[in-house]
Amino acid sequence: MSEDVAPVPVAALAESASDPLPATDPALAASVPDPALAVTTYGPGSDAAALLAIHGITANGRCWDTVAALLPARRILAPDLRGRARSSALPGPYGLRRHASDLAALLDADGGGPRTVLGHSMGAFVAVALAAARPDLVAELVLVDGGFPLPLPSGVRSAEDLDIAALLGPAAQRLAREFADEDAYLDFWRAHPAFARDWSPAVEAYARHDLDGAAPHLRSSTVAAAMVQDGGELYGPDWYVAALRGLRMPVAVLRTPRGLLDAEPLYAPGALEGLLDLVPQLQIVEVDDVNHYTILFADRGARRVAAAVDDRR
């Protein structure tokens, strides 16, 4: 993978991405039930097939700001998934296949045809579900620290016994809290161990996009039931393993050496190599000096993600 991708300032993002409350694009979301799936669009207007970028379990489409700034010539669609941010009013049920169905409708409304699909964390799992259900829409997959079944924690026998909120740490804890103002919410994120040395305007924009309600009763927009239902499908149900086995398009996965709390990684060294029998075409990319979040938000991580996308054109 090439690392020779010059940084582009966040100011180079399209206007729709710099607006802290990007509007839903009704033309792209026409096939999704009302209220429409919210989509942040980056890059120039173009007839070329847009790259689809899918966020993680309690995240939103603004997590792609830094990566998008490094791909200024690419049109990128970054939806807020059902139950998150500006799509939080979309009702359940949730689950990977429900999100894949939503995104298939989005891409069909965007003209259909195969394109690169980029997914981070749970978004990588949704990308796989989309590729399995609608391979006509997916030319290649770029999976960022996700997309392959997670190991169950010690002492846990099945996904049904998981405490998803405990596993996610502060990202889930915020769902049960109210915040007096936006500064209080930003302070919560500044204290997150993943951002101890990597706070940036991109992180701030991402956090603001997540807020719902009015002061002094601001809260995260992520629906807790969506987090729980989606999180339970990240440990390899049979249908998902079959989906991985059936992939025929090129697949790359970027692995981080540190995880959600800037400590243990989601995938231990060597774990992904054990999946080559399942996905023989898998390309594994090790990304140094980042954690599960900063692979997207820090320039040193985002450059590797952008390079992986460019290398697969």
User: Exposure of 240 by Cβ count < 10 A (0-12 exposed, 13-18 middle, 19+ buried)?
Assistant: buried
Q: Are the C-beta atoms of residues 256 and 291 closer than 8 Å to each other?
A: yes
Q: Along the chain (313 residues), what's the average pLDDT of each consecutive run of 10 residues?
A: 26 32 39 69 84 97 98 96 96 96 95 96 98 98 97 74 75 90 96 95 97 96 94 94 98 97 94 96 97 98 96 66
User: Exposure of 47 by Cβ count < 10 A (0-12 exposed, 13-18 middle, 19+ buried)?
Assistant: exposed
Cis peptide before 7 (omega within 30 of 0): no
Q: Determine the pLDDT at residue 313.
A: 58
Q: Determine the pLDDT at residue 253.
A: 98
What are the phi and psi torsion angles at 215 (to 5°)?
A: -60, 140
pTM: 0.88
> Mean pLDDT in the chain?
87
How far apart (Å, rounded) are the C-alpha atoms in residues 5 and 70? 7
Instruction: Tokens for 287, please give them.
Output: 């990304």
DSSP string, 84-128: SGGGTTS-S--SHHHHHHHHHHHHHHTT-S-EEEEEETHHHHHHH
